[in-house]
Amino acid sequence: MKKIILQVVGTVILTVSALWVQADELNLRAGVTEISKEVYSLHMLILWICVAIGVVVFGVLFYSVYAHRKSKGVEAAQFHHSTKLELAWTIVPTLILVGMAYPATETLIKMYDTGGEDMTVEVRGYQWKWQYKYLDEDYNRTFSFFSNLATPRSQINNRQVKTDTYLLEVDEPLRIPTNRKVRFLITAEDVIHAWWVPDFGIKRDAVPGVVNDLWAIVPEPGIYRGQCTELCGKDHGFMPIVVEALPEAEFDAWYASRVSTEVVRTESFDDTFSHEQLMAKGEEVYGTYCSACHLANGQGIPPAFPAIAGSAVAMGPKDDHLRLVIEGVAGTGMQAFGKQLDPVELASVVHFQRHSFGNDAGDLSQPADVINLSGGQ
């Protein structure tokens, strides 16, 4: 009888553990970097130690529940102390812990070795998007961009079928080269966020006023997805991280083209634009940066997020409107977009707001206005 029970229990444990190891959904991902694989094996080591201890401890407990019951007519023993046992179950667990701490310490020391990088990217958390700044050898910015959630609201609100990358897709991913040591400087603009790419085995809080660093050498090209993991307000669940690792040559080509578009983009700050141009650009910017709070119809969610439709600001003087968007409103969710958007984007989104949702200010906002207001920068 006992033998059969043991066999059944054994089979169940083996099947469950086999399923566990096979199914991705049931376990941590091993990831692609050397570090993430080391973390994975550490995870498995500790998991199995816990399972083993659990089997022994719960085995004894359930055997006792099965065997030492009054209904079987047993008489309760009256022993209540054993110094030898107490010592044994203090010392043995301590030794097991030392056995766990040793490899954990080794891995941790490796993770902290952030020096000797081939390139550096600054990762900056904003409510609710990530900004990636590519830095040159002297830590000066070469170019930067925001990475926003690309999943349409219609999918979130169940009006459209959700795709495989639902909530894990962005308009522009962070691109890095394979096989080079990339150092990430993690910080934040407003509240605390956390930057996590599970496949690289790295996660670090993005804290305003603090610069943390992480590194990764990604051996395989591919698209790696993660999410913000520190509660950062309303859309905490909607600021994914997507990293595309490109083969080195491909990355270099992309990097060069990105640097040259940066020059063209900066030159466009001197241009003037027509109403139609501003409206088209402005609608795009509004959809990405404004509609989460002020909604696609400009009605907002008062009182936290005021309506733009019919607002005194959108109907009032142009410069006041621009200044509000550039500088933000301290102590509210309204951020200082002067730090996030370029003059063309700022001018067009303000122009769009002044001529949409029933607003009709009848003026034109130009990049030059933005540059004047922000002191020529």
Partner 1 sequence: MSEVIHADHHDDHHHGPEKGLLRWLYTTNHKDIGTLYLWFSFAMFLIGGVLALVIRAELFQPGLQFVQPEFFNQMTTNHGLIMVFGAIMPAFVGLANWLIPMQVGAPDMALPRMNNLSFWILPFAFGMMISTLFMEGGGPNFGWTFYAPLSTTYAPDSVTYFIFAVHLMGASSIMGSINIIATILNMRAPGMTLMKMPLFVWTWLITAYLLIAVMPVLAGAVTMMLFDIHFDTSFFNAAGGGDPVMFQHIFWFFGHPEVYIMILPAFGIVSHIIPTFARKPLFGYSSMVYAVASIAFLSFIVWAHHMFTVGMPLAGQLFFMYSTMLIAVPTGVKVFNWIATMWRGAMTFETPMLFAIAFVVLFTMGGFSGLMLAITPVDYQYHDTYFVVAHFHYVLVPGALFSIIAAVYFWLPKWTGKMYDESLGKLHFWLSFIGVNITFFPQHFSGLAGMPRRIPDYALQFADFNMLSSIGAFIFGFSQLVFLYILINTIRSGKPAEGRSWEGAKGLEWTLPSPAPYHSFTHPPKVTEAEIQG
Q: Which residues in 292-321 contact partner 1 (CB under 8 A)? A: 301, 303-304
Provide the minimum distance between the beta carbon of 24 and partner 1 in the complex, in angstroms, as a whole number.
7
The answer to the question of residue 361 lying near partner 1 (CB under 8 A) is no
Q: What is the DSSP string of 289-356?
A: IIHHHH-TTS--BTTTB---TT-HHHHS-HHHHHHHHHH--TTSS---GGGTS-HHHHHHHHHHHHTS
The answer to the question of residue 3 lying near partner 1 (CB under 8 A) is no
Q: Which one, of 208, 183, 192, 191, lies nearest residue 200 by Cα?
A: 183
Provide the minimum distance between the beta carbon of 36 and partner 1 in the complex, in angstroms, as a whole number.
8
Of 135-164, binders to partner 1 (CB under 8 A) are 155-158, 162, 164
- Mark 157-196 with x for binding to partner 1 (rule: CB under 8 A) and - for no binding: xx---x-xxxxx-----------------x---xxx-x-x
Q: Which is nearer to partner 1, 285 or 292 (CB)?
A: 292
- Before 128, cis peptide (omega within 30)? yes
Provide the minimum distance between the beta carbon of 92 and partner 1 in the complex, in angstroms, as a whole number.
9
The answer to the question of residue 78 lying near partner 1 (CB under 8 A) is yes
Scanning 79-87, 174-182, 246-254, 341-349 for contacts with partner 1 by CB under 8 A, the matching segment is 79-87
Provide the minimum distance between the beta carbon of 208 and partner 1 in the complex, in angstroms, as a whole number.
5
Measure the N-to-C terminal CA separation of the chain; round to a whole number of Å: 84
Cα–Cα separations (whole angstroms), residue 286 to 144, 308, 337: 19, 11, 12
Provide the minimum distance between the beta carbon of 179 and partner 1 in the complex, in angstroms, as a whole number.
23
CA–CA separation, 95 vs 120, rounded Å?
A: 41
Of 16-75, binders to partner 1 (CB under 8 A) are 24-29, 38-39, 42-43, 46-47, 50, 53-54, 57-58, 60-61, 64-65, 68-71, 74-75
Chain-centre distance for alpha carbon 247: 23
Q: Which helix (H) or strand (E) holds 251?
A: helix 248-267
Look at the chain and count its residues: 377
Of 324-353, binders to partner 1 (CB under 8 A) are 330-331, 333
Provide the minimum distance between the beta carbon of 121 and partner 1 in the complex, in angstroms, as a whole number.
17
- Which DSSP letter does residue 227 get? E
